[in-house]
Amino acid sequence: MRIDDEAIGAFAVRYLTSLGNFSSFVYVPERGRAYYSLLREKGFRNALRAKGLQARDIKLSDLPICSYGTEDELKEIFDTLSASCLLFPEEEGLREEREGLVDFCTRSGIKPLVVPTVEEIAPGNRINGKIREVKIEDLLGRNEIKISMEEITANFKGKVVMVTGAAGSIGSELCRQLAGFGVKRLVLFDNAETPMHNIRLELEEKYPGADFVPVIGDVRQVQRLDFVFREYRPQILFHAAAYKHVPLMEENPCEAVLVNVYGTRNVADKCIEYGVEKMVMVSTDKAVNPSNIMGCTKRLAEIYVQSLGLAIERGEVKGGTRFVTTRFGNVLGSNGSVIPRFREQIAKGGPVTVTHPEITRFFMTIPEACRLVMEAATIGTGNQIFVFDMGESVKIDTLAHRMIELAGLKVGEDIDIVYTGLRPGEKLYEELLSTRENTLPTSHERIRIAKVREYEYSDAVKVVSELESLSRTVNVKDMVVLMKRTVPEFKSRNSRFEGNYVLWRIFGLQMFNCTIAEPSRATLWYTYDIEMNDCTIDGPKSFRETERAVLNRCEFTNALETFWS
């Protein structure tokens, strides 16, 4: 616990009549002083009464302060007053004390609470309706991101903006923020009927004068996309439609390619055809050195979009659309993510399932991610891949423990944590997105530009077309091989696609004194007229669908099958 002799924190011991008949400690960080003055100015003088020990002759807005220097002194204050909760006046102070006061609360059976911002409170309103228990998202979030609101508003105000995947976690938050920027019309495009219905009702209630157009459609349907572009003529497009769940896409790779790669090509091509000013694609940290099908499909989508933009820049393709890509990690509370899953498991009494005790992930709140997407869309001049500063990685096991403690339970007594093993395509650690070695700076301290390999547009078109054909015929084998050939850094983990073929579709090759070590699938595949002399092959499988192979003095070690098909 972070406590020094000068007392890190000071407590104002309060009764808030609107909370009920229990005492509450209100943690007052340095910046919280203005909070109390504003509360009193807004008519809450009678709602605040002092009670308890006064360690020093200190007052804040005429109310006494209790201070502490050690954890024992802190415990004495709570015990003397029989306090049952600790009320934080702001989320920033709460996050600063996640390893201090919040940890003390969870260990001591004291319920941590957080109140709304001053701006959310008006005289006459009951504050207890807004006070809530501390959630794990409060502790994982970071201080408010500073963005250029004037520039962002000017960038979107009075324009027709379209969002694909508008009913999803990121897409719906983009719509919420865009609605507040005074856009001329907001076109919501998604294939999920019920979530689309819900976000439409929400936006119409919050912004009754705004123009919202909900469109049910699929990025794989070119004709439907063409109708939307032709009918509504978007000027700016945010492309958030994607399949994102790693294990599920590992099991359904063809659908991942059709939506994430082919679908992105459809959207980008329509942007060119209908003169969209800027297309902003939402990508993922899993596109960096991908270890799964989903991550590789997002990298392939990045490749197509960036190569198209570069082709326009060089005059190889006619058009004026600028393409911007944004990469970030996991977002807190998104549909199907770990936090809602843990919350559901805790509510049922457990067990809470964690794949591996050492697995870590980077997290960002959904509003935070979307604000950075808006900022990147504003500062982006085209053909850049922006990466966001994701902060420190979080150990998922620690996350599970903390969520259980916040629920007032104890691990091993009230509820168990069970380790289930890594899922298909999953790795222990995600790649660090932003380092000075692999990025360039921008005008925003939390946004950098990724240094990535550039591809020729003609090559990208050929690959995407072939991938589309292979995925439609469900030719998984050739499709994955093409993906790995196009994105050489794609190395499957915990997957049926793990490993590589050393030689593939080779004709008329002579090999002398070669050693091939540990090919986990096959050494030669679709090879013809091969001559191998004095070679050593160490691996479980050696030849697949190979014809006219001449082997002289070759040694096979650890071979489960020498010739197989």
Buried b / exposed e over 283-319, threshold 16 CB at 10 Å, is bbbbbbebbbbbbbbbbbbbbbbbbbbbbbeeeebeb
Instruction: Please check whether residue 263 is in contact with residue 309, taking contact to mean a CB–CB distance below 8 angstroms.
Output: no
Residue-level length of the chain: 565
Q: Which residues pair with 557 in a beta bridge?
A: 538
CB atoms closer than 10 angstroms to residue 85:
18
CA distances (Å), origin 183, targets 156, 175, 252: 6, 10, 38
Catalytic residues: 286
* Neighbour-count burial of 376, counting CB atoms closer than 10 A to its CB (0-12 exposed, 13-18 middle, 19+ buried): buried
Q: Which residues pair with 503 in a beta bridge?
A: 524
Report the C-alpha gap between 47 and 26 in whole angstroms. 13
Instruction: Please check whether residue 308 is in contact with residue 322, taking contact to mean a CB–CB distance below 8 angstroms.
Output: no
* Neighbour-count burial of 369, counting CB atoms closer than 10 A to its CB (0-12 exposed, 13-18 middle, 19+ buried): buried
Strand stretches in 461-546, DSSP E: 501-504, 507-512, 515-517, 522-525, 528-533, 536-538, 541-544
Residue 400 one-letter amino acid: A
Which residues, 6 or more positions from 413, have their beta carbon under 8 angstroms from its beta carbon?
Answer: none
Report the C-alpha gap between 222 and 241 in whole angstroms. 14
Residue 112 one-letter amino acid: P
Instruction: Please check whether residue 472 is in contact with residue 258, taking contact to mean a CB–CB distance below 8 angstroms.
Output: yes
CB atoms closer than 10 angstroms to residue 558:
11
Which residues, 6 or more positions from 369, have their beta carbon under 8 angstroms from its beta carbon?
Answer: 170, 173, 328, 331, 388
Phi, psi (deg, nearest 5) at residue 211: -105, 105
Q: Which two tokens mark 326?
A: 């944004």
Decide the pairing of beta strands 447-450 and 384-388. Answer: antiparallel
